[in-house]
Homo-oligomer: A and B are copies of this chain.
């Protein structure tokens, strides 16, 4: 397998985490965004959105971190990381959606403005939306170890990456003790890897 990443992409980190936890061998292709390598005609053939991660597995190519997580979980993880019953799968999907919404457009965009990797947009708008996301996570994690199904799933990996670095965006976890404990719990999972 081949995984296209950039050195700063939290979305690519989510997929690296699952590949490592599933003990899958893969080749990493690091794109240089300053050279616009994610916008070349060749890369846009792989992903018309011009973003990482992209996962190649033989002839199969998938873009979007949640789609990569779903593919790997189903192909190499049995029922453990993504169950196929209606209730379990929908539970996981709720948190994939939170990761695509409040955590990305809130936590990560607030961090982007704060650390200077995002040049447009309003910090307070993003921070408010991100804080909503932390509140929803806390509501679940104050009384549960994991987000879905009572065990680690791709829901945790999808939500973990941008949550773990949200303090860099001015959104610390001091008032979210359930979230803080869960971040440490994810980092103690066998196979956890740090960001690039």
Query: Residues of A at under 8 Å CB distance from B?
Result: 48-49, 60, 62-68, 70-72, 74-75, 84-87, 89-91, 93-94, 96-98, 100-102, 104-105, 120-122, 125, 132, 135-136, 139
With A74-B85, A75-B86, A122-B120 given, is the CB distance from A132 to B49 under 8 Å?
yes
Q: Which of A68, A94, A102 has the most CB of B within 10 A?
A: A94
Chain B residues in 8 Å Cβ range of A64: 93-94, 97-98
Q: Is the interface of A mostly helix, strand, loop or mixed?
A: helix
Bound Cα distance A97, B51 (Å): 13
A74-B86, A120-B122 in contact; A97/B136 too (CB < 8 A)? no
CB distance from A30 to the nearest CB of B (A): 22
Residues from chain B with a CB closer than 8 A to the CB of A96 are 66, 93
Assess the B94–A97 pair: CB atoms within 8 A: no
A35 to B62, CA, bound (A): 43
Smallest Cβ distance from A91 to chain B, in angstroms?
A: 8
